[in-house]
Structure 1
């Protein structure tokens, strides 16, 4: 008399491992793309906090990003004077 509980069909085991491998591959792909998207968002946020032109005005505030230090002034949002600030704001709204 054979014990049927001990009998395991090798095809069933192989199929289970194949299904598990496919599920794991899909999960790895999904999480890898999500990590890539969050990395892009984080890089954009760090870039906005940076100061490309060196005038001590953060990029997201700086209305004149091409005006280098010491010309860029905080009271004019990184522009050299009020006229340049007005021109930058006008160009940004058009």
Structure 2
């Protein structure tokens, strides 16, 4: 049976873990409900979700690894060089 956004196995007052990465998605312990700019909400009951921070994802707000195509090189904002 699918869980609803109000179902959460955490005890009340327990913090939800969010992992921020410099190059890549924001990882959030699930389940999560995300409110988008237009007011709509999307829900995932997965144990961890990857939220897109580059806004290139075709599945926004979920990450589809589109950020990998234009990851900056180690020295700055330019895309990584291809050999």
Q: Identify, as 1 or 2, the structure richer in helix.
A: 1
Q: Identify, as 1 or 2, the structure richer in strand.
A: 2
Same structural fold, with TM-score higher than 0.5 when normalized by the shorter chain: no
| TM-score under structure 1 length normalisation | 0.21
| TM-score under structure 2 length normalisation | 0.23
Higher relative contact order (CA 8 A, sep 6+): 2
